[in-house]
Amino acid sequence: MHYAIYTPNFGPYTSPANLAEMAREAEAAGWDGFFLWDHVAGWSHAIFDPWVSLTAVALATTRLRFGCITPVPRRRPWKLARETTSLDQLSSGRLTLIVGTGIGTAEWDDLGEESDPRKRGAMLDEGLEVLTGLWSGDPFGYSGKHYHVKETRFLPAPVQSPRIPIWVGGFWPHKAPFRRMARWDGMFPLFEEWEIDKVLPLLREALAYVREQRTDLSAPFDVAITGVTPGDAPAIATEIVSTYAAEGATWWLEGIAPYRLGLDFNDEWPLEAFHERIRQGPPQS
């Protein structure tokens, strides 16, 4: 099992400088990764661009794998290709891209973006084809319903081969995102439930469905789970993540946000408590 910090790109501690310091603390404490959310609107807090923040994270660390969960349908895939390749080059191949269709209305309807989730799903599939085609470094052209690329060649290619890993996020029991997960390098399943005794049977169902959809079960495939563990009770923390590992999880993303302390996002954020949890290290320590 690998362990990562998972935190918003909005709020009082989420400037690029502060996130870089958190990532530096995470690396020193033995965490394996550092992942951000990707929002542009809909929150009352200050919001910072995750890709600028991840640049700071890359420069502040030498070992951590990092990335963010980004809704591809509100991004230009060629711009995303440049951003991700640049970060992969900068970090000597430490980027993981987590993708999804996005949620809510503030970043879609309110900004004139596509509001139909089914259409966004189609945009995500096309966007991933464009993204990986441009990552190849070979001549590439594309003509789809949503995106068109006259033959071009994007250089440099990413450091990682055959490509930057792509994990796909989505809420179970919606089946389309989980069919999509099976086609890529990993899955980030989300559930409306949070209690472990309710999540585990849902996770089993989701994993079984994805395994049925995969065509090559021998290929590397990550299963990322997010949740919270008590840093001051290592035995309990280890028990929690071990339960998920036994089901097939390969990454644990520790939520660092108000909800991990039972607070609302509009409450005062106890910043030192988040830093303390990072410094306490991952469950296996």
Confidence of residue 275 (pLDDT cuts 50, 70, 90): very high
- Answer yes or no: are the C-beta atoms of 14 and 37 closer than 8 Å: no
What pLDDT is stored for residue 260 in this prediction?
A: 74
What is the spatial distance between Cα 277 and Cα 285, in angstroms, rounded to a whole number?
A: 12
What pLDDT is stored for residue 113 in this prediction?
A: 86
Tokens 């464009």 belong to which residue? 130
Confidence of residue 222 (pLDDT cuts 50, 70, 90): very high
Average pLDDT over residues 203-226: 95
Average pLDDT over residues 178-202: 95
Percent of the chain with pLDDT over 70: 100
**pLDDT above 80 for 285:** no
Contacts of 52 (CB under 8 A, 6+ apart): 16
Tokens 């899955």 belong to which residue? 187
Counting DSSP H helices and E strands in the chain, the numbers are: 8, 10
What pLDDT is stored for residue 138 in this prediction?
A: 98
How many CA within 13 A on the CB side of residue 221? 17
Average pLDDT over residues 195-222: 94
Name which residue leads in pLDDT, 226 or 218: 226
The two beta strands, 95-100 and 166-171, are parallel
Long-range contacts of 106-109 (CB under 8 A, 24+ apart): 106/41, 106/42, 107/39, 107/40, 107/41, 107/42, 107/71, 107/74, 108/74
Provide the 3-class DSSP secondary structure of residue 69: strand
Question: Which residue, 221, 228, 230, is CA-closest to 248?
Answer: 221
Structure-token pair, residue 13 = 């501690």
Tokens 């661009």 belong to which residue? 49
Alpha-carbon dihedral sign for residues 80, 83, 89, 94: negative
**What are the structural domains, with CATH classification, of the chain?**
2-280 (3.20.20.30)
Question: Which residue, 92, 49, 39, 43, is CA-closest to 69?
Answer: 39
Name the β-bridge partners of 259. Answer: none
What pLDDT is stored for residue 268 in this prediction?
A: 80
Q: Give the pLDDT confidence of 26-79 residue by residue, as tens digits.
A: 999 999 999 999 999 878 889 999 999 999 999 999 999 999 999 999 999 999
Average pLDDT over residues 172-194: 96
Alpha-carbon dihedral sign for residues 91, 93, 98, 101: positive
The region of weakest confidence among 50-64, 100-114, 203-217 is 100-114
For 253, left (φ over 0), alpha (ψ -120 to 50), or beta? beta
Long-range contacts of 234-242 (CB under 8 A, 24+ apart): 234/283, 234/285, 237/283, 238/283, 238/284, 240/196, 240/283, 241/1, 241/3, 241/283, 241/284, 242/1
Structure-token pair, residue 62 = 């030498």
Tokens 């550092």 belong to which residue? 34
Average pLDDT over residues 106-125: 92
**pLDDT above 90 for 20:** yes
What is this structure's pTM? 0.95
